[in-house]
Amino acid sequence: MSKPTPKTRGRKPPRGSFVTFEGTEGAGKSTLIAAFADLLRSRGRETVTTREPGGSSVAEKIRAVILNEPMHPWTEAFLYEAARAEHLNQTIRPALERGAIVLCDRFTDSTLAYQGAARGLDWNTLRRLNDIATDGLKPKLTVFVDIDPGRGLRDAKDPNRFEAEGVAFQTKVRKGFLRAMREEPKRFVKVTARSGTPETMAAELLGKIGRRIGVEAKTGAKR
């Protein structure tokens, strides 16, 4: 695990819980996040949903460039990190500091998977850039929504240039997520895409991670 940057030493840990969702294109992360957020809110918890790239005014403008304009892989990586730094300081950290649960559609592991495993940029350099952009903040948990890359591309509903790179590219991305999961197994929870309705998947996920984010699952929920 990376050491916190000097700026974060002495800073109090955030009161809330930060949960990220990762996966290849078309895995259904956004749908699961929406159902999980509804479930958490029904338990009386303030829940903030956000996404990367994006999640704040400046970061959303960077998102439009990243998803639509061809560019050098390092340009792509640096734009992601710039958007992430703004997103973290404008949206994620303020929500965590007031005690909210933050659910984020993609975060630092996507940089490792897309720009590292798929684009071929140095994995450890990207890890260091992630640490700088996030000021050392890591998710409490990361949910990896796994799907066959080919099926995911067939079901994808948000066309962008990453989808256009095809199954071979997304297969490399999936391998990147699996590598990140091997490196930090305690942080990751793996779920199978479309293994149930969004509502049943959300309930099962709460059964798996509820205690770790301070929300008890109802009696009888799977653990």
Q: Which residue has the higher pLDDT, 154 or 62?
A: 62
- pLDDT value at residue 1: 42
Neighbours of 24 (CB within 10 A): 33
- Extents of the domains making up the chain: 16-212
Which neighbouring-strand residues pair with 19?
103, 141
Tens digits of residue pLDDT in 3-60:
444 444 446 667 899 999 999 999 999 999 999 999 999 999 999 999 999 999 999 9
Question: Which CATH homologous superfamily contains domain 16-212?
Answer: P-loop containing nucleotide triphosphate hydrolases (3.40.50.300)
- Residue 194's alpha-carbon distances to 4, 92, 110, 161, 173, in angstroms, are 36, 28, 20, 24, 19
